[in-house]
Amino acid sequence: MTVTGPMTTGDAVTTGDALLIVGDVVTDVVARYRSPLAYGTDTVAEIRTLPGGAGANAACWAVRTGCADVRILARVGAGDRDWHEERLRRSGVRAQLVVDETAPTATVISLVDTSAERTFLTDNGAALRLCPADWSPALLDGVGRLHLSGYLFFSATSRRLTAAVLESARERGIPVSVDPASTGFLVELRTGSFLTAVDGVDTLLPNADEARLLAGRQDVSEAAAELSRRTPLVVVTLGAEGALVAQAGAVTAHIAADRVSAVDTTGAGDAFTGAFLAARLAGADPASAAEEGCRAGTLSVTTTGGRPPEEDGEPPVPQPGPPQAGRSG
């Protein structure tokens, strides 16, 4: 296994103030178009290649919100490992990237219409090949909170990894959060299987559609309340309507979001997750943390892509490179 970054036991923070995200690093191709898609011919669009991934995006937003030690474990293809590592480093994230010699880095084509709504075409690539051999309990040294990207629950290989990670976290008493990630993938996996896999986590962070699907309730408030009977804290993102906080079978807060002119909603939920987790790690109560999440989510939709805007310009497009030493799993 080849990894990058200084996340070693000897280098670990021992005060429990770090956030570890086990998730996905993705190459995003974002296409914003203003006229209806013309089947069988050309549609003019603004297209950009950007670093992304639910886990990586959340990590970057956690740093943006003030968390000083944010780490991510993910698997990428060899060809553009350096580009993704550099993007994360520039955002302040300590990356441990497992190099996959067989599969390329996951790629998502995000089609963004005039309402800023996005539709994804997803090639999971190396992301869902993260496996138990890539995990060590030592990665939890100095960690105060652990977050699992929901995408990891949608393949047998990465699901075995999540089981190992959850066991390690429980042994150390580290709180764990999960975002369900995708209604499409939840339907394929079956909601009961997902809920069983995340049994025992401390916080569930679905969007409204995911909450309705998982709870089997059409009313989102009822869905949030129902899910909180199973998971101690449930925070449901509502897009422009803010977020709901539910605990012990009841909705305890409805957080409003500021109204802005949205450009691209790609990664808005990731922004919410990163800011929410950073605030919780700093000691905020769930409602206050959800307010931080809504602020980040609102900011994220005013720019293209799922990461915080960079002050020094856009990163260069990754170029194919020769394979590097590593291990596939």
User: Which CATH number is 238's domain given?
Assistant: 3.40.1190.20
Residue 44 within a domain: yes
Tens digit of pLDDT for each residue in 168-222?
Answer: 999 999 999 999 988 877 887 777 788 999 999 999 999 999 999 999 999 999 9
Residue reference for tokens 């310009």 = 313
The string of pLDDT tens digits covering residues 302-328 is 988 889 987 544 444 443 333 333 333
C-alpha–C-alpha distance, residues 116 and 263, integer Å: 5
Contact 63, 92 (CB under 8 A): yes
Judge whether residue 4 has pLDDT over 70.
no
DSSP string covering 206-250: -BHHHHHHHHT-SSHHHHHHHHTTTSSEEEEE-GGG-EEEEETTE
- Dist CA 61 CA 289 (whole Å): 13
- Per the domain annotation, does 134 fall within a domain? yes
Instruction: Identify the pLDDT of residue 311.
Output: 54
Neighbouring residues of 59: CB distance < 8 A, sequence distance ≥ 6:
19, 21, 23, 70, 71, 72, 88, 91, 93, 274
Structural domain tally of the chain?
1
Ordered strands of the 118-123 beta sheet: 45-52, 26-33, 106-112, 118-123
Asked whether the CA dihedral 261, 264, 265, 268 is positive or negative, the reply is negative
Helices (H), the chain: 54-65, 81-90, 156-172, 183-189, 191-197, 208-215, 220-227, 268-281, 286-300
Lowest mean pLDDT among 84-93, 112-121, 201-210: 112-121
Pairing state of beta strands 250-255 and 93-100? unpaired
> Residue 5: inside a domain, yes or no?
no
Tell whether 11 is covered by a domain: no
Q: Kindly state whether residue 13 falls inside one of the protein's structural domains.
A: no
In a domain, 309, yes or no: no
Can you tell me the distance from the alpha carbon of 34 to that of 112, in angstroms, rounded to the nearest whole number?
A: 9
Can you give the residue range of the structural domain that contains 243? 18-300
208 lies in a domain?
Answer: yes
104 domain-assigned:
yes
Residue for token pair 């996959």:
100
Distance CA 268, CA 179 (A): 13
DSSP 27: E
